[in-house]
Amino acid sequence: MKSKPGLFISFEGGEGSGKSTQIRHLATWFREQGRDVVVTREPGGSPGAEEIRNLILTGDPGRWDAVTEALLMFASRRDHVERTIRPALAEGKVVLCDRFADSSVVYQGYGHGLGADYIRNLWKLAIGDFKPDLTVIFDLPLEVGLDRAGARFANVSAAEDRYERMGLAFHERIRDGYREIAETEKYRCVVIDASGDIESVGERVIAAVQGRIAGQGT
């Protein structure tokens, strides 16, 4: 019997949007369908990329300027793609990734003001035309997401909360960036209302994934 092709799904959204929880639920659903699943994240996802993650997500909000931060992100991302994602896809696995290159477009491009085209040029240089088969974008009011994120880090020392401390205007630009990506790349992106309870959001995610991959034999 012919093996099923690999499938790459990325999950995007602002801080506290519930991506990690929904990725775990979707991974369980895929495994129930008989698929091998790799759950990974960015920045990170390979040994070298995890080292870079610590540089990016901890410390003072102004630790890096926008260009340095973007370069660190794509250095991490290239290692992740080459050492984790591509090999898994070649083996026919489903790869579920908590953030991918769209995060750089919105965080460094929109949030820090480098511009989307600047980041897409880096994207091309670092990993070529490589993109997810499907990108799930979680959307919810900023105050809700930041409250959730703040609660998550409240009792954690050396928390990866650098972005949470960047101010409301920054996060407004992030949300606007994701909405623009979703509008211009409808063939790849689906927006999920993440403001409901975990179960209802999970149902929306599975329905969206089923609808988008039905023609791929998954």
Query: Is 20 labeled as ligand-binding?
Result: yes
Query: Is 16 labeled as ligand-binding?
Result: yes
At residue 216 the predicted structure's pLDDT band, cuts being 50, 70 and 90, is: low
Query: Is 17 labeled as ligand-binding?
Result: yes
How large is the average pLDDT for residues 117-141? 95
- In this prediction, residue 148 carries a pLDDT of 56
Query: Is 109 labeled as ligand-binding?
Result: no
* Runs of H (alpha helix) within the chain: 19-32, 47-57, 66-80, 86-90, 101-104, 116-127, 142-153, 168-184, 198-213
Query: Is 91 labeled as ligand-binding?
Result: no
Q: What residue segments make up the domains of the chain, in order of their start?
A: 7-216
Question: What architecture is domain 7-216?
Answer: 3-Layer(aba) Sandwich (3.40)
Query: Is 131 labeled as ligand-binding?
Result: no
pLDDT for 132-159, tens place per residue? 999 999 998 766 555 655 554 444 444 5
pLDDT for 51-97, tens place per residue? 999 998 888 888 899 999 999 999 999 999 999 999 999 999 999 99
Written as one letter, the residue type at 142 is: L
